[in-house]
A and B are shown apart, each in its own frame.
Chain A
Amino acid sequence: NAGVTQTPKFRVLKTGQSMTLLCAQDMNHEYMYWYRQDPGMGLRLIHYSVGEGTTAKGEVPDGYNVSRLKKQNFLLGLESAAPSQTSVYFCASSYAVSQGLQLHNEQFFGPGTRLTVL
């Protein structure tokens, strides 16, 4: 049981290049999330998905796209990388959230991808 895995662990891009970050989870979670973490700051939500084939924007979605073609995978794409996108990217997953009950959304995080854009 690997939990949440991310590929790659490190990447250096030049401005204008594109890339895709892959997140995979083997816990059969419905919900998946992409965050970025900048030095000395908390995590900020980029995009999230509440199920296969669905995605939604988070707090900082500009410059990123996502896809959830399979339940276990969540891809984050950078269309044209900019230095402002230099960050550590974390993927997370959780069980489906039930409203009206005592909401408890424990998220399980992957190890992160360190991205540098020159």
Chain B
Amino acid sequence: GQSLEQPSEVTAVEGAIVQINCTYQTSGFYGLSWYQQHDGGAPTFLSYNALDGLEETGRFSSFLSRSDSYGYLLLQELQMKDSASYFCVATDSWGKLQFGAGTQVVVTP
């Protein structure tokens, strides 16, 4: 079947670095996205990897290895506002998204 696996929760202190790993098994895989969702809010797009390697956007970086069916999101210089759920999302060749269950990141002072 199709699935994306990511840890359920990660806790870290302000200023730290957090890495959220994602392994996927999906048909028609085209790329890997990451979305952020604050409690009670809508998901918002963070990054997208279609090719192997690292993509950097400010404090956030995302990595993809197609041969390993693996990716990660790296959050640097953690801030309290980064407390949210982060979803690993597979894009298929038709542009449809399949979401993982999400990783809740808790940032403590």
Binding site for A on B (CB under 8 A): 4, 30-31, 33, 41-45, 48, 50-51, 87, 89, 91, 93-102
* Chain A contacts with B in 32-91, Cβ cutoff 8 A: 33, 40-45, 48, 58-59, 90
A105 on the B face (CB < 8 A): yes
Given the known inter-chain contacts A104-B50, A105-B91, please indicate yes or no for A58 contacting B96, CB distance below 8 A.
Answer: yes
Q: Are B50 and A102 in contact (CB under 8 A)?
A: yes
Supply 24 A–B pairs (Cβ within 8 Å), ascending by A.
Answer: A41-B101, A42-B87, A42-B89, A42-B100, A42-B101, A43-B87, A43-B97, A45-B98, A58-B96, A59-B98, A90-B42, A94-B95, A99-B94, A103-B50, A103-B91, A103-B93, A103-B95, A104-B48, A105-B97, A106-B33, A109-B42, A109-B43, A109-B44, A111-B42
Binding site for B on A (CB under 8 A): 31, 33, 40-45, 48, 58-59, 90, 94, 97, 99, 102-112
